[in-house]
Amino acid sequence: MKQERLISLDAFRGFTIAGMILVNNPGSWGSIYPQLEHASWNGWTFTDFIFPFFLWIVGVSMTFSFAVRKSKGDDNTKLLLNVLRRSAIIFALGLFLAGFPFGLLWGHNFSLSAIRIPGVLQRIAVCYFIASVIYLNTSMRGQIIAIGVLFVTYWLAMFYIPIPEFGAGLFEKGKNFSAYIDSLLLSGHMWSATKTWDPEGIISTIPAIATTLFGSLTGDYLRTSGHDKTEKSVWMFVFGAGLLLVGAFLDMWMPINKSLWTVSYSIFMAGWALCIFGIFYFLIDGKGIKKWAHPFVVYGMNAIFVFVLSGVAGRTMALWKFNVQLSDGTFKDVSIKTILTQNLFEPFFSPLNASLMHAIVWISVMYVVVWVMYKKKWFVKV
């Protein structure tokens, strides 16, 4: 029997990738609404929802993808080889974005010896690979046990393994076990804003894998025939609310923190993913109310492509500079991005809204690209 396409998942993926592009492309990094940047440390903002949602979506998607391939006769070995290939490509794309434009544009310094190794796409690749190995070799019960093992491992390491100078059990910036391991194994290859730890570092990837497995559990549930779509929506809300409560409860001991991807954060965001996706699923697949979500579907059908395109184009605009004369008669090198923001938005909006308008226009430009691709049925798969 042919697998019915989950349009709500395409829409939720598109909603998530559009949000990712929105927060990654302000007109000015000095003028951003608080909800459009990450929480300074503990806590969460709208921006902190985006990455875990994408990992959760990866988990849901792979259950449907594997089911289709198995129906065509693929065994686990063939599936894992395909997973390995896809993971390698996604990881390589992440490294490409980290290095772009490789010293070829104005003022950009590039050194392979200092390239950032962790990153968003790199974490997606690692989580996808490990979660796939677990999924293909266990039952639903096994996935739940794996989540528990991942959480307990992270919890024990963060609370009980002492590090030089600071001891054990700390969750402060740069003074925790996760940061210590990053400094040992990723020295010189971390996010330039921190240099001593990375928000997509090694230890924090452990509970991120669990986030992906929460998605695979949801995918398996959606593929069952025991409940109709309305009932499934209700149960997603029920379990989502339960995870929100558990995450908020655990916050008393281990703070909800995106940069550390704490256990409480992983559980809390999986709860939000279930609740928000439950709305998409109920409206689109349950009730057939689809027109409102079409722009998100268009985005979702080429999610990785538009993320990479936006990153390349955004970096180019930020680094490509012209020597312009200022109002005081002096000259200064100014990026294309700054020139456009200053001339198209700042005369009409406050600094915060001018920066926001730049991001909204950027999303619209990217949408035109993927809309043309959608119309021509060009879907870039990795």
Q: Is 165 left (phi over 0), alpha (psi -120 to 50) or beta?
A: left
Please tell me whether residue 162 adopts helix, strand or coil conformation.
coil
> How sure is the predictor about 167, in pLDDT bands with cuts at 50, 70 and 90?
very high
Beta bridge partners of 257: 42
Is residue 9 a contact partner of residue 60, using CB atoms and an 8 Å limit?
yes
**CA 333, CA 339: separation in Å to the nearest integer?**
10
**CA 58, CA 216: separation in Å to the nearest integer?**
8
pLDDT of the residue at 106: 67
pLDDT of the residue at 327: 65
**CA 135, CA 49: separation in Å to the nearest integer?**
24
Beta bridge partners of 334: 322
Read off the amino acid at residue 157: A
Cα angle at 315 between 311 and 321, to 5 degrees? 160
Res. 184: pLDDT tops 90? yes
Res. 3: pLDDT tops 60? no
pLDDT digits (tens, 9 = 90+) for 95-107: 999 988 887 776 6
Residue 9's nearest CA partner among 346, 214, 279 is 279
Res. 179: pLDDT tops 70? yes
pLDDT digits (tens, 9 = 90+) for 151-160: 999 999 999 9
What would the mean pLDDT of 265-274 be, rounded to a whole number? 98
pLDDT digits (tens, 9 = 90+) for 16-38: 999 999 999 999 999 999 999 99
Helices 263-280 and 7-24, axial angle in degrees (round to 10):
120
What would the mean pLDDT of 195-224 be, rounded to a whole number? 95
What would the mean pLDDT of 342-349 be, rounded to a whole number? 91
Place of tokens 């940061």: 179
Pairing, β 331-335 against β 321-325: antiparallel
pLDDT of the residue at 1: 42
pLDDT of the residue at 325: 67
> How sure is the predictor about 306, in pLDDT bands with cuts at 50, 70 and 90?
very high
Read off the amino acid at residue 193: A
CA dihedral for 306, 9, 293, 15, sign (positive or negative): negative
Tell me what percent of the residues of the chain surpass a pLDDT of 70: 97
Please tell me whether residue 324 adopts helix, strand or coil conformation.
strand
**CA 248, CA 269: separation in Å to the nearest integer?**
10
